[in-house]
């Protein structure tokens, strides 16, 4: 018996070892075999002699094969790189890789074991080729994770390496591969770039070259079911991504997605814009195709009994008012009501799962579910709507849509003034959508009476202005008697997109969930917990969690204040922080918080009997554009228009007067933005008001100088000082 | 049947928390204890150990003829915060193993936690055999308690070198019990006990033939989380174990009784090397053929190793102590300190020199070789014995290090030099602070509201080595930009141009950088008065040493000589210049001198950090000095229109 097992084990081992080496040899042959045209490509053009490294050949391959439900996905990359300095040698002197992994694709089977083969060789300047014995030299860390230090690597060498990943998996239905969206350019310049794509029947491909990248070309093959494509480019300069830039909007790049669908039935299941058949590479998506994909997928569905209960007995002046009320109710009832439970679950403080306390609730998990659920309420209440199909600006225009996961969905409620409803996070407002969608072209899908989507037309989303997205800070400054400290009282008011990140940053759940419970008369987690003693214990533990987060938060806010004024950690003392208004029920409402602290040893300089006060520093660190970035050949992409306004009120110390107001009055205002400041003395106070405005979310590169004009002016203001002159 | 079993199991699992939770809640006494401890120790300590006990016993592994060590550890935690989340972890390697790592509630019931067991690599090493077992535990309330137990086994007493009384968290009572059998000769050296409440008790058990040492330390604060701190061997109380010999079957065998024993073991590893130098014979010939002097030959070889061998360390098992073959290092073009030292030695040998291996502990380690123990050293370099007997040291891991200059980290440290069957002990020479001089020369003219002028900087010693290393490792295409950003300090008010730099490949001469500069916004005019902020560097201004418990250690000794000259237009007269400063102490010197010379002002700074450290006893004086300096930096030069 024992002997048998042993024999089997040996047999299994031998079999596996053989199989592995066959694949391994195949991988090696694939890149470095007799067909390798780049075997002797060792030269680089003179123009790149001063680079850190030059990629002589970069080759990416995506191969998709199948046998019934069994898919074999091969993904490999080879780079042949000339190393021109120590930095590059260091960069390529160590590699880590996983030589076995479990595929997460398709159905789970114990067989879905992936393998990665890794090959490296070095070509010395005299042409001598040294193939690294990876199996021998790599060391295993944990679970197939290996690393290798490359021996004998020197400046002037060429390193030629590949990763070859073999990933078998089983998919009975549809499988959508991860989309690929990448620029052709990379960290180092590339002399030759080739991308190959190999597929069989049942694999559907969406592919497009954008921004001037070369097109994918078909290569004739012998087999009928077998297709091969190539994309080739030469002389690609290294990438240089400046500030405020969306590479996929300008730089030559590719977009690709591959789907596996075994029959027509499954093709229809795919959440993708599939080509008509496998022989066609799909590169554009028409309006009708969008409608075809979505028409039956957005029938209004979902349990809205809770919403009906909420509406019972309430009257509204308009549909807009009703929709708004329901939106915020859903945000609470389907989301913020459970946040305490999420925290309790994460911190292990309840005896049982805290989710048990909510029965069988509705929990909305994605945009699509939100659209179906929200439109269920709309259609029930006979409120007209369209579904907006949009894509974020950094993906390009909706007309160039190719990859379904690039779609963002918003519900447009066709009330007198249109309302936009997006899938919510805890602070999302009605009429708020991702800033990246603002002002973009979109498609509007309109429903029939029964909820099937029947019409599609073009449209455009509205945009906010810099006034809508305002960050306003009021600083009240008072110097102490010996001028060594400044007492600051600061009030910050944020609205529109300027408040969004800060609301998540500055509020923890306990700052707003109780507001929601009160508003909607719902119960907090603690009161849902059964058993008096248990409730009391959980309450104590929950209080401890809140205190811990609050303490951490306070420390973090103090650091934020230090960063804003670019001072060290010991320079701010007696820090306090308070939320005044949460600003969670209207996009235009202000999120307001106040802070106060003492600033030591900063921004006051002794000048004989007088003092110089670096008053400009209180508008916070400004965008610095370095010399090399003052010339710009790429358009300017920003998230949204916005303004940063400051009001600085300095109590002038007794016995002193303020000199130097003239430099605090600035005014650069052009089509791209503005920096405007005024200063005046009213009684014993110096009052400065500044406004920095970014007027659009996009500027053509020709406007860069106009932007520099107001950015420079703001920087100059940042450097301005006033003199507190002793009055004799 | 199956369903029933599952149901019973589920009920049972649920029953555990209900049953136990009651007795887990902290009592009022525990809460008040937690509050007291919170006040007593650092406010950032989330938990404390009420009791931490380590019981050390020894055994004999007949098969391998090794003395083994077992450490049974019990730690009783209490949380000092309203809620604390900490991670429990323990490192081990090829010589050690961990078992029975468990966490228990205060009612002794075991907590179901999963310990991850992972390979661990610290930044400096490419690969070693260190592993870590770790898990996270949460204390939901103040005064909550857990007990953690584990057993650590060490295969060979050689690797059992020290035990600390301090840990990551404060400890109310730390107990270390060492039960030494009579067949083992072991010295327990008490290190850094002064200033701590540590008692010792020794009991002899004639029956068991053992001697038991019990150390009890009370109220030990957590280790300080401070940067630029001296190594732990300087500050924290610990026991150093000097295992001298053991007797088995009537035979007494030496361990590390004398330094000679330690050397013998090291040497036995070195003697295993084949030292086949044929791989680099030609290279050595090439490097030395045009050299006219011995020094030049040595330099060529030493610099070649620095420039061509990358530091990549594999410290797996014995590889942590045994150097790699020189020919391997040569072929691979990488190695750790031992590999580089050995390659340097063998290449020099090939060139006809008397070269040796050297074991050394860097400054991070407080010990010298009078304490024969594996924790005495952590580094290997090469020594060259000249014909006249002079010994020079060569450390291939120090890049851009000129021959004869020694990095601060090994200066004054005792070197154990190979000498056949015996050894030589010699200290690495100490360098004077002015060896590492940074010279800054600013020459400004006031033009409108800008300062316009030229700058000349030079760097010697370790300040040069440091910069050369950075500059040579930058990407070629980004080098100029990086240098410019370094010189303009990323400040858009500084416009730097016309940069000239000396040969960054040449480590034998001072590094010199000259450039033109325009400084905007350094000058403000109000009411006909002009105020000038003259200092662009403001060295040391952020180095106030507050809330600090440990000496502050610099990377090297420092010496700054800075001269700024500013010429002002004839239409102005100088009405005020900042005060001078002159402070000279054992560890540092700070001199600031302003002089007016017609329409020029000469502003001199001379700062010296003499011993690369500021001692804790000096902090108050140091902080006063830094504050005076800060005042000078913020004071203005004032000009009035004539």
Whether A592 and A499 map to the same domain: the answer is yes
Residue of B nearest to A624 (CA): B492
Judgement on whether residues B379 and B444 belong to the same structural domain of the protein: no
Looking at residue A108, its pLDDT comes to 64
Q: Of B119, B524, B634, which is closest to A721 when you measure between CB atoms?
A: B524
Its sign, for the CA torsion B606, B610, B612, B613, is negative
Q: List b or e across B140-155, with b for residues whose CB sees 16 or more CB atoms inside 10 angstroms.
A: bbbbbbbbbbbebebb
Provide the 8-state DSSP code for B307. Answer: H
Asked if the structure places residue B2 within a domain, the reply is no
Show which of B427, B445, B468 is a domain's final residue: B427
CA closest to A628 among chain B residues: B481
Instruction: Give yes or no for residue B7 having a pLDDT over 60.
Output: no
A528 lies in some domain: no
Q: In the block, which residue shows the tokens 């007198």?
A: A416
Alpha-carbon distance of A98 to A117, in angstroms, equals: 9
CATH at residue B438: 2.60.120.1130
If asked whether residues B219 and B339 sit together in one domain, one would say no
Amino acid B394: pLDDT:
97
CATH value at residue B37:
2.60.40.3140
> Which chain B residues are within 8 Å of A608, Cβ to Cβ?
575-576, 636, 638
Q: What pLDDT does residue B17 have?
A: 37
Given a contact cutoff of 8 angstroms between Cβ atoms, the answer to whether B49 and B76 are in contact is yes
Residue A610 belongs to some domain of the structure: yes
Write out the DSSP string of A298-340.
T---S--HHHHHHHTT---SSHHHHHHHHHHHHHHHTTGGGHH
Task: Work out the minimum CA distance from A83 to partner chain B, whole angstroms.
Answer: 11
Do B277 and B182 share a structural domain?
Answer: no
B470 membership: H or E segment, kind and range:
helix B461-472
Please give the residue that has the higher pLDDT: either A271 or A407: A407
B307 near B376, Cβ under 8 Å? no
A425 and A514 inside one domain? no
**Looking at CA atoms only, how far is residue A719 from chain B in angstroms?**
6
Residue A567 and residue A634 share a domain:
yes
Q: Is there a domain that residue A4 lies in?
A: no
Q: Write the pLDDT tens digit of every residue in B217-260.
A: 999 999 999 999 999 999 999 999 999 999 999 999 999 999 99
In-domain check, residue B175: yes
Encode pLDDT of A627-668 as tens digits. 889 999 999 999 999 999 999 999 999 999 999 999 999 999
Examine residue A219 and state whether it is found in any structural domain, yes or no: yes
Contact B333 A612 (CB under 8 A): no
Whether B13 is covered by a domain: the verdict is no
Q: Which pLDDT belongs to residue B19? A: 38
CA B318 to chain centre: 23
Minimum CA–CA partner of B132 in chain A? A142
Residues A563 and A709 in one domain: yes
Taking the C-alpha atoms of residue A103 and residue B113, their distance in angstroms, rounded to an integer, is 28
- Looking at residue A170, its pLDDT comes to 83
How high is the pLDDT of residue B189? Answer: 96
Q: Do B524 and A139 touch (CB under 8 A)?
A: no
Query: Taking the CA of residue A697 as centre, how many other CA atoms within 13 Å lie in the half-sphere pointing to its CB?
Result: 20
**To the nearest 5 percent, what fractions of chain B are helix, strand and coil?**
25, 40, 35
Q: Please indicate, yes or no, whether residues A551 and A651 belong to a single structural domain of this protein.
A: yes
pLDDT averaged over every residue in chain B: 92
Q: How far is CA A92 from the centre of its chain?
A: 29
- Which of A152, A347, A568 is closest, CB to CB, to B332? A152
Q: Are residues A619 and A700 in the same domain?
A: yes
Domain membership flag for residue A640: yes
Instruction: Specify if B23 maps to a domain.
Output: no
Per the domain annotation, does A33 fall within a domain? no
Mean pLDDT value across residues B531-550 = 92
Contact B81/A at CB under 8 A: yes
pLDDT band at B299 (very low <50, low <70, confident <90, very high): very high
Its domain, for residue A631, covers 470-520+545-726
On whether residue B7 sits in a domain, the answer given is no
Name the residue of chain A whose CA is nearest to B530's CA.
A607
pLDDT of residue B6 exceeding 50, the answer is no
The reply to whether A498 and A415 lie within a common domain is no
Verify that B201 and B268 share a domain, yes or no. no
Provide the number of structural domains found in chain B: 3
> Residue A347 and residue B83: Cβ atoms within 8 Å?
yes
To probe the interface with A, which of B85, B227, B496, B521 has the most A CB atoms within 10 Å?
B521
Partner A, chain B 497-526, Cβ-Cβ below 8 Å: 520-521, 524, 526
| pLDDT range class, residue A8, cuts 50, 70, 90 | very low
Please compute the mean of the pLDDT values over residues A158-162 and round it to a whole number.
96
B153: in domain: yes
Residues B390, B495, single domain; the answer is no
Residue B638: its chain A contacts at CB < 8 A?
607-608
Angle at which helix A319-333 crosses helix A513-520, to 10 degrees, equals 130
Q: Domain of A639: which CATH number?
A: 2.60.120.1130
Specify if B481 maps to a domain: yes
Cβ neighbours of A548 in B, within 8 Å: 81-83
CB contact under 8 A, B474 and A87: yes
Range of the domain at B132: 29-253
* B56 and B108 part of one domain: yes
Q: Domain check: are B237 and B268 in the same one?
A: no
Q: Is residue A415 within 8 Å of residue A422, measured between CB atoms?
A: no
In contact, A61 and B448? CB cutoff 8 Å:
no
B449 and B388 belong to one structural domain: no
Give the pTM. Answer: 0.90
pLDDT confidence of residue B352: 96
By the 8 A CB rule, do A471 and A505 touch? no
DSSP state letter for A537? H
- Please tell me whether residues A418 and A490 are part of one structural domain: no
Q: How confident is the model at residue B205, as a pLDDT?
A: 95
For A401-459, write each residue's pLDDT tens digit: 999 999 999 999 999 999 999 999 999 999 999 999 999 999 999 999 888 899 999 99
Residues A633 and A660 in one domain: yes
CATH code at position B335: 3.10.620.30
**pLDDT classification of A3: cutoffs 50, 70, 90:** very low
At A110 the pLDDT is 59
What pLDDT is stored for residue A631 in this prediction? 93
Q: Across residues A554-572, what is the average pLDDT? A: 89
Question: Above 80 in pLDDT, residue B2?
Answer: no
In a shared domain, residues A510 and A630:
yes
- Given a cut of 80, whether residue B458 has pLDDT beyond it is yes
Give the HSE-up count for residue B610: Cα atoms under 13 Å, Cβ half-sphere. Answer: 9
Indicate the residue among B408, B427, B446 that finishes a domain: B427
Tell me: pLDDT of B123 over 80. no
Read off the pLDDT of each residue in A688-700 and give the average, rounded to a whole number. Answer: 97
Distance of residue A657 Cα from the nearest chain B Cα, in angstroms = 12
Q: Tell me whether residues A149 and B544 touch, CB distance under 8 A.
A: no
Asked if B126 reaches chain A (Cβ–Cβ under 8 Å), the answer is yes
Residue A452 and residue A481 in one domain: no
Residue-wise pLDDT tens digits, B487-514: 999 899 999 999 999 999 999 999 999 9
Q: Mark which of B367, B395, B427 sits at the end of a domain.
A: B427
- Residue that is written with structure tokens 């040579």 in the block: B472
Statement: residue A104 has pLDDT above 90: no
Same domain, B563 and B440: yes
Pair B242, B308 in one domain = no
* DSSP string of A56-124, one letter each residue: EEEEEEEEEEEETTEEEEEEEEEEEEEE-SHHHHHHTSEEEEESEEE--SSB--TT-EEEEEEEEEEE-
Q: Answer yes or no: is B18 within a domain.
A: no
Q: Which residues of A touch B575 (CB under 8 A)?
A: 608
| Per-residue pLDDT band at B198 (split at 50, 70, 90) | very high
Average pLDDT, chain A: 91
How many domains does one find in chain A? Answer: 3
Among residues A417, A440, A460, the one where a domain terminates is: A460
Which residues does A309 contact at the CB level (< 8 Å), separation at least 6? none
Q: Are residues B173 and B193 in the same domain?
A: yes
pLDDT over threshold 90, residue A461: yes
Q: Max Cα separation, chain A?
A: 109
- Residues B315 and B232 placed together within one structural domain of the fold: no
Quote the tokens at residue A698. Answer: 């996009």
Q: What digits encode the pLDDT tens for the residues A280-310?
A: 899 999 999 999 999 888 999 999 999 999 9
> Do A514 and A567 belong to one domain?
yes
Is there a domain that residue A262 lies in? yes
């Amino acid at each position: 018996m024992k002997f048998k097992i042993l024999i089997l084990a040996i047999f299994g081992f031998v079999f596996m070892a053989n199989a592995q080496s066959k694949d391994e040899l195949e991988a090696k042959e694939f890149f470095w075999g007799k067909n390798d045209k780049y075997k002797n490509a060792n030269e680089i053009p003179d123009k790149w002699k001063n680079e850190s490294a030059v990629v002589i050949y970069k080759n990416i391959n995506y191969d998709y094969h199948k046998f019934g439900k069994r898919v074999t996905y091969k993904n490999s990359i080879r780079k042949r790189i000339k190393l021109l300095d120590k930095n590059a040698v260091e960069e390529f002197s160590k590699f880590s890789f996983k030589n076995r992994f479990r595929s997460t694709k398709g159905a789970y089977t114990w067989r879905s074991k992936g393998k990665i083969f890794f090959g490296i060789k070095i070509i010395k300047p005299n042409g001598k080729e040294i193939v690294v014995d990876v199996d021998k030299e790599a060391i295993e860390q944990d679970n197939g994770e290996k690393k290798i230090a490359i021996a004998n690597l020197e400046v002037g060498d060429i390193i030629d390496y590949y990763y070859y990943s073999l990933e078998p998996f089983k998919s009975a239905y549809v499988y959508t591969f991860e989309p690929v969206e990448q620029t052709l350019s990379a960290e180092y310049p590339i002399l030759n770039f080739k991308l190959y794509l190999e597929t069989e029947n049942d694999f559907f491909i969406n592919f497009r070259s954008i921004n001037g990248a070369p097109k994918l070309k078909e290569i004739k093959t012998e087999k009928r079911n077998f297709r091969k494509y190539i994309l080739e480019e030469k002389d690609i300069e290294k990438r240089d991504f400046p500030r405020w830039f969306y590479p996929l909007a300008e730089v030559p790049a590719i977009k690709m997605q591959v789907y596996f669908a075994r029959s027509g039935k499954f093709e229809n299941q795919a959440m993708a814009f599939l080509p008509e058949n496998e022989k066609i590479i799909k590169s554009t998506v028409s309006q009708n195709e969008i409608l075809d994909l979505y028409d039956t997928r957005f029938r209004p569905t979902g349990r809205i009994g809770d919403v009906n209960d909420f509406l019972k007995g309430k009257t509204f002046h308009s549909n807009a008012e009703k929709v708004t009320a329901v939106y915020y109710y859903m945000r609470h009832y389907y989301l913020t009501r459970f946040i305490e439970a999420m925290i309790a679950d994460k911190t292990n403080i309840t005896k049982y799962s805290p989710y048990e306390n909510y029965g069988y609730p509705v929990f909305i998990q994605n945009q699509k579910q939100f659209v179906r659920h929200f439109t269920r309420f709309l259609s029930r209440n006979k409120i007209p709507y369209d579904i907006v199909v949009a894509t974020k600006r950094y993906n390009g225009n909706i007309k160039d849509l190719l990859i379904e996961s690039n779609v963002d969905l918003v519900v447009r409620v066709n009330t007198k003034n249109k309302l936009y409803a997006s899938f919510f996070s805890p602070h999302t407002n009605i009429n708020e959508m991702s800033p990246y969608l603002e002002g973009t072209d979109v498609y509007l899908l309109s429903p029939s009476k029964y909820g099937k989507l029947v019409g599609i037309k073009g449209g455009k989303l509205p945009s906010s202005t810099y006034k809508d997205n305002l960050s306003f800070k009021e600083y009240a400054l008072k110097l102490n008697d010996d001028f060594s400290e400044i007492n600051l009282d600061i009030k910050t008011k944020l609205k529109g997109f300027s408040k969004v990140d800060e609301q998540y940053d500055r509020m923890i759940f306990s700052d707003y969930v109780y507001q929601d419970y009160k508003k909607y008369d719902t119960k907090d987690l603690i009161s849902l917990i059964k058993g008096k003693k248990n409730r009391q214990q959980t309450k104590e533990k929950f209080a401890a969690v809140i205190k811990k987060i609050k303490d951490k938060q306070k420390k973090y806010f103090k650091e934020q204040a230090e960063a804003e004024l670019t001072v060290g950690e010991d320079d701010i003392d007696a820090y306090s922080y308070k939320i005044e208004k949460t600003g969670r029920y209207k996009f235009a409402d202000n999120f307001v918080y106040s802070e106060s602290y003492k600033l030591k040893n900063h921004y006051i300089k002794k000048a004989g009997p007088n003092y110089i006060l670096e008053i400009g520093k209180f508008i916070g660190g400004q965008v610095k554009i370095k010399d090399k970035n003052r010339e710009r050949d790429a358009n300017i992409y920003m998230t949204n228009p916005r303004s940063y306004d400051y009001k600085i009120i300095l109590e002038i110390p007794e016995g002193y007067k303020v000199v130097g107001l003239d430099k605090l009055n600035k005014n650069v205002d052009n089509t791209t933005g503005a920096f405007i400041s005024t200063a005046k003395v009213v009684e014993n106070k110096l009052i400065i008001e500044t406004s920095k405005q970014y007027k659009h979310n996009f500027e053509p590169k020709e406007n860069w100088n106009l932007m520099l004009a107001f950015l420079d002016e703001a920087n100059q203001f940042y450097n301005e000082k006033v003199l507190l002159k002793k009055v004799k | 049947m199956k369903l029933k079993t599952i149901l019973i199991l589920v009920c049972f699992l649920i029953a555990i928390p209900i049953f136990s939770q009651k007795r887990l809640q902290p009592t009022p006494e525990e809460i008040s204890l937690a509050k007291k401890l919170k006040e007593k120790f650092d406010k950032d300590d989330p938990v404390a150990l009420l009791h931490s006990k380590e019981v050390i016993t020894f055994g004999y592994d007949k098969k391998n003829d090794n003395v083994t060590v077992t450490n049974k550890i019990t730690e009783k935690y209490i949380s000092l915060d309203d809620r604390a989340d900490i991670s429990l972890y323990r490192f081990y390697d090829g010589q050690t193993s961990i078992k029975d790592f468990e966490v228990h509630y205060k009612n002794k019931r075991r907590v179901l936690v999963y310990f991850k067991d992972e390979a661990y690599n610290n930044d400096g090493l490419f690969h070693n055999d260190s592993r870590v077992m770790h898990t996270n535990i949460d204390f939901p309330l103040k005064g909550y308690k857990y007990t953690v137990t584990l057993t650590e086994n060490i295969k060979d007493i050689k690797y059992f070198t020290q035990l600390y009384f301090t840990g990551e968290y404060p400890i109310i009572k730390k107990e270390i019990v060492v039960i030494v059998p009579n067949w083992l000769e072991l010295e327990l050296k008490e290190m850094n006990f002064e200033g701590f409440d540590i008692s010792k008790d020794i009991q002899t058990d004639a029956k068991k033939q053992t001697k038991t040492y019990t150390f009890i330390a009370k109220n030990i604060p957590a280790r300080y989380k401070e940067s630029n701190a001296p190594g732990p061997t300087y500050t924290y109380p610990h026991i150093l174990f000097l295992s001298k010999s053991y007797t088995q079957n009537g035979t007494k065998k030496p361990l590390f009784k004398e330094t000679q024993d330690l050397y013998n073991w090291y040497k036995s590893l070195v003697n295993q090397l084949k030292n086949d130098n044929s791989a680099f014979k030609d290279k050595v010939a090439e490097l030395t053929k045009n050299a006219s002097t011995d020094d030049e030959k040595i330099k060529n070889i030493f610099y070649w190793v620095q420039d061509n061998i990358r530091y990549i360390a594999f410290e797996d098992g014995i590889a942590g102590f045994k150097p790699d073959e020189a020919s391997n290092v040569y072929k691979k073009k990488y190695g750790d300190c031992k590999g580089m030292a050995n390659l340097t030695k063998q290449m020099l040998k090939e060139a006809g020199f008397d070269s040796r291996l050297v074991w050394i502990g860097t400054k991070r380690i407080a010990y010298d070789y009078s304490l024969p123990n594996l924790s005495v050293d952590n580094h290997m370099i090469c020594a060259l014995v000249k014909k006249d007997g002079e010994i020079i040291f060569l450390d291939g891991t120090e890049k851009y290090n000129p021959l004869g200059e020694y990095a601060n980290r090994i200066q004054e440290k005792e070197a154990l030099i190979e000498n056949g069957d015996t050894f030589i002990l010699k200290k690495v020479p100490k360098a004077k602070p002015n060896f590492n001089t940074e010279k800054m020369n600013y020459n400004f003219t006031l033009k409108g509201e800008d300062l316009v002028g030229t700058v000349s900087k030079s760097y010697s010693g370790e300040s040069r080595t440091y910069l050369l290393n950075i500059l040579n490792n930058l990407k070629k295409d980004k080098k100029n930009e990086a240098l410019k950003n370094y010189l303009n300090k990323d400040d858009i008010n500084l416009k730097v141009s016309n940069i000239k730099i000396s040969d960054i490949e040449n480590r034998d001469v001072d590094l010199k950088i000259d450039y033109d500069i325009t400084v905007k916004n350094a000058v403000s005019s109000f009411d006909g008065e002009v105020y000038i902020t003259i200092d662009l560097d403001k060295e040391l201004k952020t180095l106030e040493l507050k809330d600090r418990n440990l000496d502050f250690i610099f990377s090297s000794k420092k010496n700054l000589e800075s001269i700024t000259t500013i010429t002002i237009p004839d239409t102005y007269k100088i009405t005020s210049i900042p005060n001078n400063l002159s402070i000279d102490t054992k560890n540092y010197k700070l001199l600031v001198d302003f002089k007016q010379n017609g329409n020029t002002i000469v502003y001199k700074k001379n700062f010296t950090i003499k011993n690369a450290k500021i001692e804790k006893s000096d902090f108050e004086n140091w902080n006063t000095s830094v504050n005076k300096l800060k005042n000078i930096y913020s004071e203005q030069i004032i000009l009035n229109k004539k």
